[in-house]
A and B are shown apart, each in its own frame.
Chain A
Amino acid sequence: MENQQTVAQIKDLYLNFYTYDGVVKALDGITLDIKKGEILGLVGETGSGKSVTSLSLLSIVIPPGRIEKGHVEINLKGKTYDLLSLNDATMSCVRGKYISMIFQEPRAALNPVYTIGDQIGEVFFHHRKAELIESAITQLRMDLETASGLKAAIYKRELSLYEKMRDDPKSRTVWLAQKIPIVNRFRNRMKGAARRYIVDMLKSLNIPDPGRVIDMYPHELSGGMAQRAVIAMSLSCNPVMLIADEPTTSLDVTVQVQILLLIKDLQRRLHTSILYVTHDLGVVAETCDRVAVLYAGNVAEIAGVIDLFKKPLHPYTQALLESIPRPGHKFVSIRGTVPSLVSPPKGCRFYDRCDYAHDRCIHVEPELIEVEKNHSVSCHLYYGET
């Protein structure tokens, strides 16, 4: 996995929240990169900025937040695009198609009044309409060969409508045809095509009886199935990158195993890059290839998963690993609390909780330095060791 291409990178991202209590400096210069086909774990506690970072990859910044400076770029087909500079319309073509996201609560991500099929179909219609039209046209051509009389006449009209849709999507005829009640039934062919794609996808995600599930409503599904439906929605366009924000935190542990295996399977089969945001170090050890540890808006350490667990360099990472419960030992916690992000300390933000802190740590913010191959850390203990 030496010279892997990078699929996306975040360069020096600064993000602030302008609240009643003051300016919350949530992200303080985040630099990350995600390589093709890898699972990058993003680890951090509440307030570390991991959710905000993952949302900014989709250029979703919820007010009162604002990105102050920095770049969020993806590399597609050899060209690099700065996502923060794209306007909303272009960005909505990127979201769902090239980068998609799944969230912690599957049932909150699904609209309760639409069936699963409708919701996954929505993604298809938005991004892969051309394929659906083509598929409908192919099917029509086949039907025309065997039909006769009135049916043939109807099919011929349908075919001409579809071809017009493909060639000149903004034509008046198409627009009109979609408005008239019975005539607009011609779209059912596209819906049928979409349905076939969706059933295939549900099957590949190990959802039993996909033909029935496709017509079910979200509340009729269990947590694990709902999360799989959400994954199906996010994968319908074969995105280059998938962002998973704590997708298994609200699920039972036996269901979590199923979902994690599913995610690894996706990585293997589709070479999707996955950014896995979590606070559970066990999941990280089981699933991720590389890990980035965030603390209070900074990247504390980035390393391969084995290096991180066997040779943690940043004191925060070391403290995190020590706090994993071990039978027979007292529970170990990290002393102190996360600093206020409204008035963060001038130097290293981990200063007051660090056992190795010294003078330099109070005044100067540490930078992310690559100390060993593929192992970067932002800590003054390694200052001068490149």
Chain B
Amino acid sequence: MESLMTVEDLKKYFPVMGGVLRKKVADVKAVDGVTFDIYKGETFGVVGESGCGKTTLAKTLLRLLSPNAGHIFYNTPQDVAESIRSLEKDNPKSKTLKRLLKQYDHAYASGSRLRKLRRHMQIVYQDPTTSLDPRMLVKDIVAEPLVSQGLQRGGSTIGRVLETLQMVGLTEKHLYRYPHEFSGGQRQRIAVARAIITSPEFIVLDEPTSSVDVSVRAQLLNMFQDLQKDLGLTYMFISHDLSVVECISDRVAVMYLGKIVEQAKTSELFKNPLHPYAQALFNSIPVPDPTRRRERAPLSGEPPSPVNPPAGCRFHPRCSLATNTCEREEPPLVDVGDGHYVACFAVNR
């Protein structure tokens, strides 16, 4: 499978100011060294609880936030990526490296190149009420990406806007209205129309169905799948609703406190989670079958704050399998076969 986006050791920290002189006292390590690939045409699911960094990861990928370290290779040919890696190891100060990075590494892109790249990746937010400008007409909201990118002018924009609205199930009479006149599900469709109008290749869906009614959820999810087939989109689907992720994703990554702890094909991951946190997470999904009630031991403690993550393996204070090594060293993400990666000393012995 061809890789659309390769992320290597991405880090995003937020400084915490303190003291009288308001200097930086600590960092909130929201994303702390994340590596993965997203293949063309797939839906890559990212799950985790609050504070794990999944939304920060999404925004950093889209360069709405600037990463502190790491690479984001977008549509980079294999050999270029290889040469970048070898150059970094052997000759980190070489001019060729700098040139290649500026050209291919999304993390270093800036100015007009960054603006051009924005055409190819878009985001759909969780809450459609706040993600649409309440004082703009629907027509202008959906047309805005075209105008900002200078892709179309004047009369032809409205044709394209109408076309896009029809793709998401809205009609011409919705053009000249304000967002507050629509229901939650319809507003989310408007947000999706805005996201697909520049014909992007990659869309981040950040909990797109959490703020809508249960009965509307299925309609939206079916729409996402249809659009993916029709337009050849690649999705990054972030959610805390594990049952939805199971149905819509091809591969899933589980995040905990800024790191990926396990990653695999969806069916494999849900059937056979190996990391203790992933096991606890999947174990805690309530099953809608009263004859299968399990006596579950809940995960002890609370997720610690990302300002002072525990040393060594982030999960060790709550882990029943923790050993001395786990307290000292961070486990690397290891391939246990067939694209199933786990970062745990207990598993990868």
Contact = CB atoms under 8 A, between A and B. Distances in A.
A associates with B: yes
Interface of A: 45-46, 222-225, 252-258, 260-261, 279-287, 305-306, 309-310, 321, 323-334, 337-338
A328 B250 CA distance: 11
Given A323-B214, A323-B215, A327-B246, A253 B284 contact: yes
Contact of B244 (A45, A325, A333): A325
Given A45-B214, A306-B291, A327 B247 contact: yes
Nearest to B51: A252
B286 interface: yes
Contacts of B242: 253
B141 to A, nearest CB: 23
Nearest to A322: B218
B266 A254 contact: no
A248 B283 CA distance: 16
7 contacts: A285-B287, A285-B289, A285-B293, A286-B293, A287-B286, A309-B288, A325-B247
Contacts of A46: 213
Interface of B: 49-50, 213-219, 221-222, 225, 240, 242-244, 246-247, 266-267, 270, 280-281, 283-291, 293, 296, 298-299, 302-303
Given A306-B291, A323-B214, A331 B286 contact: no
A306 B219 CA distance: 28
The B interface, classified by DSSP as helix, strand, loop or mixed, is: helix
A309 B290 contact: yes
A45 B212 CA distance: 11
A332 B218 contact: yes
A261 B246 CA distance: 25
B50 to A, nearest CB: 6
Contacts of B299: 254, 257-258
A222 B221 CA distance: 31
Contacts of A338: 215
Of the candidates A256, A285, A332, the one having the most CB atoms from chain B within 10 angstroms of its own CB is A285
Given A222-B302, A256-B284, A324-B243, 12 more contacts: A252-B303, A253-B49, A254-B298, A257-B284, A280-B286, A282-B285, A282-B287, A305-B290, A309-B289, A330-B225, A331-B247, A332-B218
Contacts, number: 107
- What are the 8 closest A-B residue pairs judged by CB atoms, nearest first? A282-B286, A333-B218, A331-B218, A252-B49, A257-B284, A257-B298, A285-B290, A325-B247
A248 to B, nearest CB: 9
B246 A325 contact: yes
A285 to B, nearest CB: 4
Contacts of A326: 247
Contacts of A333: 215-219, 222
Contacts of A337: 215
B184 to A, nearest CB: 9
A326 B287 CA distance: 11
Contacts of A329: 247
Contacts of B218: 323, 325, 331-333
A282 B288 contact: yes
Contacts of B240: 252-253
A252 B318 CA distance: 16
B185 to A, nearest CB: 9
Of the candidates B215, B225, B244, B296, the one having the most CB atoms from chain A within 10 angstroms of its own CB is B215
B288 A334 contact: no
A321 B289 CA distance: 10
B287 A286 contact: yes
Nearest to B212: A46
A334 B298 contact: no
Contacts of A321: 288
Contacts of B289: 285, 309
B247 A334 contact: no
Contacts of A284: 288
Contacts of B280: 254
A337 B213 CA distance: 11
A261 B216 CA distance: 30
A333 B296 CA distance: 31
B216 to A, nearest CB: 7
A255 B247 CA distance: 23
Contacts of B284: 253-254, 256-257
A224 B303 CA distance: 10
B288 A281 contact: yes
A309 B221 CA distance: 24
B269 to A, nearest CB: 11
Contacts of A332: 218
A327 B284 CA distance: 18
Contacts of A286: 286-287, 290, 293
